[in-house]
Amino acid sequence: MLVAAAVCPCPPLLVPEVASGASAELDALRAACADALAVVAAARPDLLVVVGAVAAGEGSHVWEGGGTGSLRPYGVNRAVRLGDGSDPEPLAPALTVAAVLLDDARLAAPLHGCAVPEDAPVARMLELGRGLAELADRVALLVMADGTNCRTLKAPGYLDERAEAFDASVARALGAADTAALAGLDAGLAGELGAAGRAPWQVLAGAGEQSGLGGALLYDEAPYGVGYFVSVWS
């Protein structure tokens, strides 16, 4: 059963060594992530599942027990480990960032990692979430997921006038732990707006359907023109 969840974005710039001189720009975001993870830790889960997205068309992968990744693609010579690091498959980028957050939070719990394609079917993500929630008596999720990437003219996806409304609907759903609203997100529109977090959010929706958890939105901004949210369900 799902007893807690944290939702955080997954830009590599969350790691201070990667952000370097621009690190202070995301201090408020890092603090919100730390607060969300503290709530998850307080729930004392029997199992923590980290969920993130990979590029459309890539296959899903589950790291049972954890895996290892590296920040070298971002110019930092640092290896990271998620859980026991036992799976030889390199961690997906979103899970690599999660490993850093969990290390900083000193959140110790048995865990799995799970990467799903950005374009994964909605029904499949909901069913995955339901299955994850049944893996232990007390399951927590850490969902690593970015919003739209086209909130400003300088954003990676340029400016799309539809992006702000889409992100606002996500923020409302995350803040209210509204699983129906997350399940109803339009996969096609999310893809057009570069919202890579759509599939992971819908995994959370499936996991939380019968949980009765309440939500709180801790962060909702679009630095660099990308929608970033931090929320906690407990």
What pLDDT does residue 7 have? 98
Q: Are strands 47-54 and 139-144 parallel, antiparallel or unpaired?
A: parallel
In angstroms, rounded to a whole number, what is the distance separating the alpha carbons of residues 143 and 202?
A: 10
3-class SS of residue 103: helix
Q: Are strands 228-233 and 215-221 parallel, antiparallel or unpaired?
A: antiparallel
pLDDT in tens, 55-89: 998 989 999 999 999 999 999 999 999 999 889 99
3-class SS of residue 226: coil
3-class SS of residue 64: strand
pTM (predicted TM-score): 0.96
Q: Give the DSSP H or E segment for 96.
A: helix 93-105
Q: Are 29 and 224 in contact (CB under 8 A)?
A: no
What pLDDT does residue 108 have? 79
What pLDDT does residue 24 have? 85
Q: Can you give the residue ranges of every domain in the chain?
A: 2-233
What pLDDT does residue 107 have? 85
What pLDDT does residue 20 have? 84
Would you say domain 2-233 falls under CATH 3.40.830.10?
yes
Q: pLDDT digit of tens for each residue in the chain (234 aa)? A: 999 999 999 999 999 999 887 778 899 999 999 999 999 999 999 999 999 999 998 989 999 999 999 999 999 999 999 999 889 999 999 999 999 999 999 887 889 999 999 999 999 999 999 999 999 999 999 999 999 999 999 999 999 999 999 999 999 999 999 999 999 999 999 999 999 999 999 999 999 999 999 999 999 999 999 999 999 999
